[in-house]
Amino acid sequence: PKRIRTHHLQRFKDEGQKFAMLTAYDAMMANVFDEAGIEVLLVGDSAANVMQGSSSTLSITVDELLVYAKSVVNGVHRSLVVADLPFGSYQVSPEQAVLTAVRFMKEAGVHAVKMEAHAATAPHVKAVVDAGIPVMAHIGFTPQSEHQLGGFRVQGRGEHAEKVIDDALSLQSAGAFCVLVEMVPAQLTADLDAALRIPTIGIGAGNASTGQVLVWQDMLGLNNGRLPRFVKQYAELRRTITDAAHSFRRDVVEGTFPGEEHGFSAE
């Protein structure tokens, strides 16, 4: 397709085809991923971590994430752009969720929003969907509930699998176009994808989901912090950039940059 829309993701699932999602926070990286054919770009509240250096996603505000979201939209031609709704901007009421989602559609121009949700907050998802805004529902480990969940822990093990499936079915009924599932056992993801009509996207959730997502700074080896075991590094950007910065500095200190070819003549 010329432009990826939510119905294309549904078609991918229906036809047994997988798709990829990466996070993006600025126009240039978004443009790189768009041209590389990444179907979905997520303006995640992980921006709090990888762009702002915070240890938690809870701190980022709507106004802050809107800036990143608008930049990503400016960088794409084809990818579907989804923005997270930040903590505190949609949990209060269905009305608050609609007002916040409208800001992301209107001010940033994203194509869909993502909400961390479960069965009890399905009415918030439904209100946003009823306003004409596509919603990706995020279940399993939901980082905005980190303190309630007792830290970064695998969800849905053993008897708790049933709750995750129940959440997913409620959110599908509420009108979500897709379910993102984080840090659950691989078998539960397989059961979820089979139980749901809509596509699933996994992170730390095994190989059975329709799509997969990673945070780009983790995936490209820019992040030198401790990485979760579900990350696969496809490049070593930190090494590449460090080497380039060393070379630039050496050239400057030794007086070999700029060369004659980088300057301007008097004529």
Hey, which residues are catalytic here?
Answer: 182
> Contact letters (x/-) for ligand KIV, 56-95, by CB under 6 A?
----------------------------x-----------
Q: Hey, what are 106's tokens? A: 């209107």
Partner from Na ion, ligand KIV, none binding residue 121, C-beta < 5-8 Å depending on class: none
Binding residues: 45-46, 84, 114, 116
Partner from Na ion, ligand KIV, none binding residue 4, C-beta < 5-8 Å depending on class: none
**How far is it, in rounded angstroms, from Cα 106 to Cα 131?**
13
Binding residues for 3-methyl-2-oxobutanoate: 45-46, 84, 114
Residue 200 binds ligand KIV, judged by CB under 6 A: no
Nearer to ligand KIV, 203 or 251 (CB): 203
Q: Which distant-in-sequence residues (6+ apart) come within 8 Å of 241 by Cβ?
A: 222
User: 195 with 172: CB under 8 angstroms?
Assistant: no
Binding residues for Mg(2+): 45, 84, 116
Question: In sequence order, what are the beta bridge partners of 139?
Answer: 181
Residue 46 binds ligand KIV, judged by CB under 6 A: yes
**How far is it, in rounded angstroms, from Cα 192 to Cα 165?**
6
> Contact letters (x/-) for Na ion, 76-115, by CB under 5 A?
--------x-------------------------------
Q: Single out the segment in contact with ligand KIV by CB under 6 A; choices: 39-47, 148-156, 241-249, 259-267.
A: 39-47
In the chain, the N- to C-terminal Cα span, in Å, equals: 51
Nearer to Na ion, 10 or 56 (CB): 56
CB of 251 to ligand KIV, least distance (A): 36
Positions in 45-74 near Na ion (CB under 5 A): 45
**% helix, strand, coil for the chain, step of 5:** 45, 15, 40
Partner from Na ion, ligand KIV, none binding residue 23, C-beta < 5-8 Å depending on class: ligand KIV
Q: Kind and range of the H or E element at 200? A: strand 200-203
CB of 36 to ligand KIV, least distance (A): 18
CB of 142 to Na ion, least distance (A): 8
User: 49 with 64: CB under 8 angstroms?
Assistant: no
Report the sign of the C-alpha dihedral through residues 241, 80, 78, 130, in that order. negative
For ligand KIV, the binding residue among 6, 23, 71, 79 (CB under 6 A) is 23
**How far is it, in rounded angstroms, from Cα 217 to Cα 127?**
33
What is the amino acid identity at position 22? L
CB of 102 to Na ion, least distance (A): 19
User: 86 with 45: CB under 8 angstroms?
Assistant: yes
What is the amino acid identity at position 69? A
**How far is it, in rounded angstroms, from Cα 156 to Cα 189?**
10
Residue 178 binds ligand KIV, judged by CB under 6 A: no
Query: Regarding beta strands 40-43 and 19-23, do their DSSP bridges make them parallel or antiparallel, or are they unpaired?
Result: parallel
Binding site residues, Na ion, CB under 5 A: 44-45, 84
Binding site residues, ligand KIV, CB under 6 A: 23, 42, 44-46, 84, 180, 182, 203, 213, 215
